[in-house]
C-alpha cells in the first residue's frame, strides 16, 4: 500500500507521522517551499490529546504547552461564570483535564519532530497538486512537476485547494460577515493561566494565555471593516481598553481574519479521502478546527494500515466517515453559536452569549469546549495511556 498525502500542514504531517509509526509507505506533496509560520490555532483539546497519545505527539505538546484548567466569562471586569475543565471526570477530560495552549507553528514543529523520529520521509516541497484521478485500482495525482501514482490519496490541503478533487468540491460553504482582529502579545494582565471571555456590547474580546508569558487577544470587529482597517493594532488596543479595562499597551501589531463554515458531503470516495480543513472548516471562534483535523488523521491512520495489510478497504472506513462528519457538524454548530453570540449589537450579542453561558451548566460547557461531543473522544481504541 502506497499512499499519497497532499499537504504538509499539521493534519497531513500528523498522518505522515502515524503512517511511519504504523509502517504505511507514503509520500507527502506540499506546495510551499517552507513550513507556514503564521499564528493560527492555539488550543489543543483533550479529545485531540487523547487521539494523539499513542503517537508521542501528545507528550511533545505537553512538554511545551501551558495547561489551561479554568475559563471565565466576565462583564465589566466581574466574573459571571467559571468553567473548570478539571471538574469533568469523564471521557478524554478525565485524562487531560485542561486545554493545552501552544501556537500552531510550535504544534507543527512537535508533529514534524515526531514524524522524523519515526523515519517518515520529508515532504516533497514546492509541488503544487492540480488534480486527483481515481482509476479504480489506483490513483493518479497530477502536479505542476509531473504525475505521482498511489494506491490511495489523502487530501489534507486545507481550505484553499478544494478545487483539486470532486470529493472536496462537494459541500456548501457559508461565509459569515464577521471580522476579527487578533494578536499574540506579552501578557500584562493579572489573569495568569486563565482563559477569559469578556462580554461587551461592542462585541466579544477573548483573552487566552500562551506559554512564554504571552497572551492571545481576539476581538470582534464590525462586519467588513477590519479587512480594510488601516491600523488593526490600534483597533485591538482600543477593544482591549474598552472591553477588558486593560491598557493593551503591549499590542504593537495585529492581524485580521474572517470566518466561514464548510462540511464536505463525503470524506471518502473509492481510493480518495479528505481530512482536516480540506473536508471541514469551522469558525476559529470555536477553537476546534485544527483539533478536528488532528483527530481525523489519528483515527484514519490505523484504518489505512489495515487496508495495506489485508489489501481490502476496511468496512470500518464507512463508520469512520460518519463519525468524523458528525463531529465536524457539531463543532461547526458550536462555533456558529459562539460567532453569533460574540457579535456587538449594542448589548444583544453579549446578552445572548451570557444567557447561553448562564443557562448551560458549567460542566456541559467544559464538555463542549473540550470536544467531549466528538465520537472519537470516547472510542475505545483511542483510550489514552494511563498517565
Ligand X SMILES: Cc1cc2nc3c(=O)[nH]c(=O)nc-3n(C[C@H](O)[C@H](O)[C@H](O)COP(=O)(O)OP(=O)(O)OC[C@H]3O[C@@H](n4cnc5c(N)ncnc54)[C@H](O)[C@@H]3O)c2cc1C
Q: How far is CA 115 from CA 32, 47, 83, 385, in A?
A: 18, 21, 35, 20
Measured CA to CA, the distance from residue 73 to residue 86 in angstroms comes to 17
Min dist CB 350 to ligand X, Å, is 21
Measured CA to CA, the distance from residue 197 to residue 272 in angstroms comes to 40
Closer of 112 and 350 to ligand X (Cβ): 112
Does residue 11 touch ligand X according to CB under 6 A? yes
Does residue 50 touch ligand X according to CB under 6 A? no
Min dist CB 346 to ligand X, Å, is 26
Measured CA to CA, the distance from residue 70 to residue 84 in angstroms comes to 5
Measured CA to CA, the distance from residue 343 to residue 349 in angstroms comes to 5
Does residue 6 touch ligand X according to CB under 6 A? yes
Does residue 158 touch ligand X according to CB under 6 A? yes
* Cell matching residue 265: 458531503
Q: Which residue number is nearest to ligand X in terms of Cβ?
A: 9
Min dist CB 215 to ligand X, Å, is 13
Q: Which one of residues 3, 4, 5, 10 is an interface residue with ligand X (CB under 6 A)?
A: 10
Closer of 60 and 75 to ligand X (Cβ): 60
CA torsion, ordered 155, 157, 158, 159, to nearest 10 deg: -90
Please, how many CA atoms are within 13 Å of residue 88, restricted to the half-sphere of its CB? 27
Closer of 287 and 372 to ligand X (Cβ): 287
Does residue 16 touch ligand X according to CB under 6 A? no
Closer of 60 and 216 to ligand X (Cβ): 216
- Which stretches of 203-339 are assigned E, i.e. beta strand? 205-210, 214-221, 255-264, 268-269, 272-274, 280-281
Closer of 12 and 171 to ligand X (Cβ): 12
Query: For the window 291-330, what string marks contact with ligand X as x by the rule CB under 6 A?
Result: x-x-------------------------------------
**Residues of this chain, 218-277, that bind ligand X according to CB under 6 A:** 257, 276-277
Closer of 20 and 282 to ligand X (Cβ): 282
User: Under a CB-based contact definition with an 8 Å cutoff, are residues 72 and 79 in contact?
Assistant: yes
Q: Phi first, then psi: give them for residue 119, nearest 5 degrees.
A: 80, 25
Does residue 288 touch ligand X according to CB under 6 A? yes
Min dist CB 260 to ligand X, Å, is 10
Closer of 78 and 160 to ligand X (Cβ): 160
Measured CA to CA, the distance from residue 273 to residue 376 in angstroms comes to 18
Closer of 75 and 285 to ligand X (Cβ): 285
Q: Which one of residues 1, 3, 24, 42 is an interface residue with ligand X (CB under 6 A)?
A: 42
Q: Which stretch binds ligand X (CB under 6 A): 31-39, 240-248, 322-330, 351-359?
A: 31-39
Measured CA to CA, the distance from residue 383 to residue 53 in angstroms comes to 9
**Cell 523520529 appears where?**
117
Q: Which one of residues 30, 70, 72, 206 is an interface residue with ligand X (CB under 6 A)?
A: 30
**Cell 483535523 appears where?**
293
Neighbours of 150 (CB within 10 A): 22
Q: How far is CA 34 from CA 125, 304, 327, 338, 373, in A?
A: 7, 28, 31, 33, 35
Q: Which one of residues 4, 15, 31, 268 is an interface residue with ligand X (CB under 6 A)?
A: 31
**Residues of this chain, 81-140, that bind ligand X according to CB under 6 A:** 104, 128-129
Please, how many CA atoms are within 13 Å of residue 19, restricted to the half-sphere of its CB? 26
User: Under a CB-based contact definition with an 8 Å cutoff, are residues 292 and 327 in contact?
Assistant: yes
Min dist CB 311 to ligand X, Å, is 28
Closer of 53 and 168 to ligand X (Cβ): 168
Closer of 236 and 290 to ligand X (Cβ): 290
How many residues touch ligand X under the rule CB under 6 A: the total is: 36
Min dist CB 309 to ligand X, Å, is 26
Measured CA to CA, the distance from residue 297 to residue 193 in angstroms comes to 29
Which residues of the chain form contacts with ligand X (CB under 6 A)?
A: 6-12, 29-32, 36, 40-43, 104, 128-129, 156-158, 160-161, 164, 182, 257, 276-277, 284, 287-291, 293
Amino acid at each position: 500500500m502506497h499512499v499519497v498525502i497532499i499537504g504538509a500542514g499539521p493534519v497531513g504531517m500528523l498522518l505522515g507521522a502515524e503512517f511511519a509509526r504504523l509502517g504505511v509507505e507514503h509520500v507527502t506533496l506540499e506546495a510551499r517551499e517552507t513550513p507556514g509560520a503564521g499564528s493560527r490555532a492555539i488550543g489543543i483539546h483533550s479529545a485531540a490529546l487523547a487521539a494523539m497519545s499513542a503517537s508521542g505527539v501528545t507528550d511533545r505538546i505537553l512538554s511545551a504547552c501551558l495547561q489551561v484548567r479554568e475559563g471565565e466569562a466576565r462583564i465589566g471586569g466581574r466574573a459571571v461564570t467559571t468553567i473548570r475543565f478539571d471538574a469533568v471526570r469523564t471521557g478524554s477530560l478525565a485524562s487531560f483535564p485542561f486545554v493545552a495552549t501552544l501556537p500552531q507553528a510550535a504544534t507543527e514543529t512537535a508533529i514534524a519532530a515526531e514524524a522524523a523520529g519515526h523515519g517518515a520521509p520529508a515532504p516533497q516541497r514546492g509541488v503544487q497538486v492540480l488534480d486527483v484521478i481515481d482509476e479504480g485500482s489506483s490513483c493518479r495525482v497530477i502536479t505542476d512537476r509531473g504525475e505521482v501514482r498511489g494506491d490511495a490519496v489523502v487530501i489534507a490541503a486545507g481550505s484553499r485547494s478544494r478545487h483539486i478533487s470532486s470529493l472536496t468540491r462537494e459541500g456548501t460553504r457559508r461565509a459569515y460577515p464577521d471580522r476579527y482582529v487578533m494578536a499574540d502579545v506579552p501578557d500584562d494582565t493579572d489573569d495568569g493561566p486563565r482563559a477569559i471571555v469578556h462580554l461587551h456590547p461592542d462585541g466579544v474580546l477573548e483573552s487566552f494565555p500562551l506559554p512564554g508569558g504571552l497572551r492571545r487577544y481576539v476581538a470582534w470587529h464590525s462586519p467588513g471593516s477590519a479587512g480594510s482597517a488601516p491600523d488593526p493594532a490600534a483597533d485591538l488596543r482600543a477593544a482591549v481598553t474598552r472591553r477588558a479595562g486593560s491598557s493593551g499597551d503591549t499590542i504593537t501589531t495585529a492581524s485580521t481574519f474572517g470566518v466561514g463554515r464548510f462540511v464536505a458531503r463525503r470524506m471518502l470516495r473509492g481510493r480518495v479521502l479528505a481530512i482536516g480543513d480540506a473536508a471541514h472548516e469551522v469558525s476559529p471562534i470555536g477553537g476546534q478546527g485544527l483539533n478536528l483535523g488532528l483527530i481525523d488523521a489519528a483515527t484514519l491512520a490505523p484504518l489505512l494500515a489495515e487496508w495495506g495489510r489485508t489489501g481490502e478497504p476496511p468496512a470500518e472506513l464507512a463508520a469512520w466517515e460518519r463519525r468524523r462528519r458528525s463531529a465536524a457538524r457539531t463543532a461547526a454548530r458550536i462555533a456558529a453559536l459562539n460567532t453569533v453570540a460574540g457579535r456587538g449589537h449594542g448589548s444583544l450579542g453579549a446578552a445572548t452569549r451570557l444567557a447561553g453561558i448562564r443557562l448551560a451548566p458549567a460542566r456541559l460547557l467544559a464538555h463542549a469546549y473540550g470536544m467531549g461531543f466528538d465520537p472519537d473522544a470516547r472510542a475505545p481504541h483511542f483510550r489514552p495511556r494511563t498517565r
